[in-house]
């Protein structure tokens, strides 16, 4: 979670004047090596450069693409080899060792409890958090009112996400789920080749890569609850590095910070393993309130519990914690077994 208490004024933080003029350059930025991760990192660097004039000079940043265990293992689900933290392990080590100054993450891939000495210091403005349905050409167009109906009876859907699989099977128990890993383009190519009938990808990633046109349909969050943190880029730093904390506070998006607090508190309260299908999606509504939807299911989709709560953005962490406890209380204990 952010180092700032949930009730602290975001406006107050954003008006602080960071002392970034004495920071040694270049600033070293750690990231995964995938095309999407590199794109997100460069968007972050551009945003920080726009905020801080000192960083507009040439070679103000040094990009460090780091191969992670999660990227190297492609033939198994993450749950079988250690969970989504495998996308950040080596990046955390580089941060703690001082090889990089801060690290850029897809927030949905960042574990809820960070290693000692590392904090989530900044959340960038959220891209579209919804999931996109990718269909093979033989499936035909998707009906916006029921996009999943475009997948043929008994069809094969590729995904490594237990969250997506559980929600899909809850609606379409006739479908078959097969493992698919790799970067965005690899997954798109597998569907285009006819190896499977469909897959689902985060719309945020498709948009950032200029591939949103590949989506046959965009799935409403009420139909397919997104992963907690989906569409948000989070920046981690060493807890002791107060100068970078102050610098990053100038570009943090207050809405993204609030919804991320709610969603990550939900995950922390549920405390499920990576084998537990969990979804969490918060949004700031037009009236200024925060609405959080939480979901828990069995892997086969035969049990699915979804509930929502509404409250003040200042109470985001509390709302997430309380909803998570409620969902855990009313779900079979076996769902959360390691």
Active site residues: 109
The token pair at 194 is 């006819």
Cα–Cα distance measured from residue 104 to residue 120, given in angstroms and rounded to the nearest whole number: 10
Best CA proximity match to 32, nearest among 5, 4, 72 = 72
Cα–Cα distance measured from residue 326 to residue 8, given in angstroms and rounded to the nearest whole number: 26
Other residues' Cβ atoms within 10 Å of the Cβ of residue 241: 18
| Buried-state track 143-182, b at ≥16 Cβ within 10 A, e below 16 | eeeebbebbbeebbbbbbbbbbbbbbbbebeebebeebbe
Cα–Cα distance measured from residue 223 to residue 226, given in angstroms and rounded to the nearest whole number: 9
Cα–Cα–Cα angle for 138, 144, 147, rounded to 5 degrees: 50
Best CA proximity match to 206, nearest among 226, 225, 187, 181 = 187
């Amino acid at each position: 979670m952010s180092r700032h208490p949930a009730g602290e004024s975001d406006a107050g933080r954003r008006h602080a004047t960071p002392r970034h003029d004495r920071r040694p350059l270049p600033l070293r930025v750690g990231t995964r090596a995938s095309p999407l991760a590199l794109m997100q990192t460069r968007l972050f660097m551009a945003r920080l450069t726009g905020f801080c004039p000192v960083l507009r000079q040439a070679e103000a940043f040094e990009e460090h693409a780091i191969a992670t265990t999660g990227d190297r293992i492609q033939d198994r689900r993450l749950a079988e080899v250690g969970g989504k933290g495998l996308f950040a392990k080596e990046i955390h080590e580089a941060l703690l060792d001082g090889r990089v100054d801060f690290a850029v993450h897809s927030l949905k891939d960042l574990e809820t409890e960070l290693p000692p000495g590392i904090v989530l210091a900044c959340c960038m403005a959220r891209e579209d958090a919804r999931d996109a349905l990718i269909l093979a050409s033989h499936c035909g167009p998707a009906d916006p009112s029921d996009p999943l109906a475009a997948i043929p009876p008994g069809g094969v859907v590729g995904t490594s996400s237990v969250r997506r699989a559980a929600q899909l099977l809850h609606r379409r128990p006739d479908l078959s789920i097969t493992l698919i890993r790799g970067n965005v383009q690899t997954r798109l190519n597998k569907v285009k080749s006819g190896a499977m009938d469909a897959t689902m990808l985060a719309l945020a990633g498709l948009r950032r890569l200029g591939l949103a046109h590949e989506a046959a349909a965009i799935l409403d969050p009420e139909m397919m609850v997104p992963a907690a943190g989906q569409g948000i880029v989070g920046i981690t730093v060493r807890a002791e590095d107060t100068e970078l904390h102050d610098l990053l506070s100038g570009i943090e998006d207050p809405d993204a910070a609030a919804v991320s607090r709610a969603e990550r508190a939900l995950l922390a309260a549920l405390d499920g393993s990576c084998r537990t299908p969990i979804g969490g999606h918060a949004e700031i509504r037009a009236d200024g309130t925060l609405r959080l939807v939480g979901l828990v299911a069995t892997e086969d989709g035969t049990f699915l519990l979804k509930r929502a709560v509404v409250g003040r953005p200042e109470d985001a962490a509390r709302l997430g914690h309380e909803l998570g406890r409620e969902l855990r209380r009313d779900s079979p204990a076996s769902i959360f077994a390691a």
